[in-house]
Amino acid sequence: MRNHFKYIILGGGVAGGYAAREFVKQGLNAGELAIISKEGVAPYERPALSKAYLFPEGPARLPTFHVCVGSGGERLFPEWYTEKGIDLILDTEIVKADLASKVLISASGTVFSYDILIIATGSTVIKLSDFGVQGANAKNIFYLREISKADKLVAAIKTKKNGKAVVIGGGYIGLELTAAMKTNNFSVTMVYPGPWCMPRLFTAEIASFYEAYYTNKGVNIIKGTVVGFDTDASEEAKSVKLKDGRVLDADIVVVGVGGRPLTTLFAGQLEEEKGGITVQSEFLFALCGYYSYRLLLKVGKTDGCFRTSVPNVYAVGDVAIFPMIQYKEMRRVEHVDHARKSAEHAVKVIKAIEEGEPLQEYHYVPYFYSRFFDLSWQFHGDNDGETVLFGKNDPTSASRKFGAYWIKDGKVVGAFLESGNQEENKAIAWVAKHQPSISDPSLLKEKGVGFAIGTMRFNLLGAYVC
């Protein structure tokens, strides 16, 4: 095994795969790049695990969802890395990182050195055992982050066929896994403590549609807190105990209560904020001016190029705290879209520096999406400000197309749409990026998604004519 590389990507998830493809696009010599991954398979599109991977009929399996198929690109099969001269080092856990010496040490004691490091370690699941929940280590309690965990859940679904499932969490993973378990003909109860599902993104009105839709599908929704599990002699949870005293029978428990960025390897070596790695440089200084820059971002070193406080070390995807230029603040974004784009951007920066070319900042507008049952929604922009709901959000209606706009300082800053077609989804993305002014919010309710389409077409036509 060669142990020194010009570039090392630490992490074999979505960001690692997209970074590798961008290196090849930009020009890469054989033997220059290594990807070190704790997992045993080449990078794959992780969102598949909570969707098609759990389908009872025609489930997705590797190699069909290796990166970069999720963004419409070619699949990077394991042999692709070999063909491009990339060392794909799998089943290798790095337990120590010495950034000053440019050294990584694996659990087996192997030492890797590099010239440039891209940290793409992603996130790990938050477990109920982290909070001392009684019985939380039971064998039939599952978390979904890696394909090996998904395989165990699939095996349990087959073993516990037509049983009872309790899904803990009302976010992306909770909603998608609840749909998957119901599709597998389980009796499903979804438990979450918030006032409604997806509270960080959905308004109460939006959430009410999905909660009613799930109820109509036969899902039992309980808004409560799990305090423990009753286990049997085989160390499996047989029931879920709630704070209000209720007890739920369970053959399978699936937990999706969020994740935390994997940054412990770099504690004390990199600047951190809000649980992520801060990236730094001079660009926002010129953009905002010294005083507003310091006051607004609260840190002196920021970067739209994903450079960290240590030279030649970059952080991308879930672990990076970066300047969201559109909103003039530092944020951490945990989503596959950002993982893909930030990884590609960091590689472009690395190559631009090597070739002495101007650097471009990362201009990112948040994008989130989900699919479950026969529903599919997209959100673009920022969910801050006044909300205007449009369309019919009646879950019993034949037409389920509805959405919302967010208005702040007289501008449309965010847009959500359920069951949009390609042009409609493109239009709400355009509106979120360009933030058109709106003098009368009632027009948004009246025109609905037509406002986004009309505004986009008018502006694109004007640009074309000019």
What is the dihedral sign for C-alpha 308, 350, 347, 10?
negative
Return the pLDDT at 294: 33
214 vs 191: CA distance, rounded Å: 13
Strand partners, 44: 66
Query: Which CATH number is associated with domain 128-257?
Result: 3.50.50.60
Cα dist from 197 to 78, 136, 221, 226, 336, whole Å = 38, 23, 10, 16, 20
- Residue 41, burial from CB neighbour count under 10 angstroms (0-12, 13-18, 19+): middle
At residue 271, the pLDDT reads 77
> Residue 408, SS3?
strand
- And the tokens for 438? 């709106």
Q: Does domain 374-465 have CATH number 3.30.390.30?
A: yes
Ramachandran angles phi, psi of 13, nearest 5°: -90, -155
Residue 154's closest CA among 17, 62, 45?
Answer: 62
Give 10-residue mean pLDDT values along the chain (466 residues): 90 98 97 97 96 94 97 96 98 97 96 97 94 95 95 97 96 95 98 94 96 97 96 96 97 94 91 67 34 30 79 95 91 95 97 95 95 95 96 85 96 97 97 95 95 93 50
Q: Beta-carbon neighbour count of residue 90 at 10 Å?
A: 14
Q: What's phi and psi for 90, nearest 5 deg?
A: -100, 170
**Residue 260 CA neighbour count, 13 Å, CB half:** 8
CATH superfamily of the domain spanning 4-123+260-355: FAD/NAD(P)-binding domain (3.50.50.60)
Q: How far is CA 300 from the centre of its chain?
A: 27
Sorted by sequence, the CB contacts under 8 Å of residue 264 that are 6+ apart come out as none
Number of other residues whose CB lies within 10 A of the CB of residue 403: 25
Q: Which stretches does DSSP call E strand in 156-307?
A: 164-168, 187-192, 220-223, 226-231, 237-242, 247-249, 252-255, 259-261, 272-273, 276-278
CB of 380 closer than 8 Å to CB of 366 = yes
pLDDT at residue 9 in the model: 98
List, in sequence order, every residue forming a beta bridge with 408; answer none if it has no partner: 411
Answer yes or no: same fold for 4-123+260-355 and 374-465: no
What are the boundaries of each domain within the chain? Answer: 4-123+260-355, 128-257, 374-465
The residues near 218 (Cβ < 8 Å, ≥ 6 apart) are 182, 187, 188
Q: What radius of gyration, in Å, describes the C-alpha atoms of the chain?
A: 23
Nearest to 374 by CA among 419, 337, 338, 405: 419
Q: Which residue has the tokens 């058109």?
A: 436
Task: Output the pTM of the full model.
Answer: 0.91
Instruction: Determine the straight-line distance between the first and last CA of the chain, rounded to whole angstroms.
Output: 58
CA distances from 201 to 214, 368, 416 (A): 18, 9, 10
Cα–Cα distance, 277 to 269 (Å, whole number): 10
Specify whether the CB–CB gap between 206 and 388 falls below 8 A.
no
Q: What is the pLDDT of residue 2?
A: 67
Can you list the positions of beta strands (E) in 199-353?
220-223, 226-231, 237-242, 247-249, 252-255, 259-261, 272-273, 276-278, 313-315, 320-324, 329-332
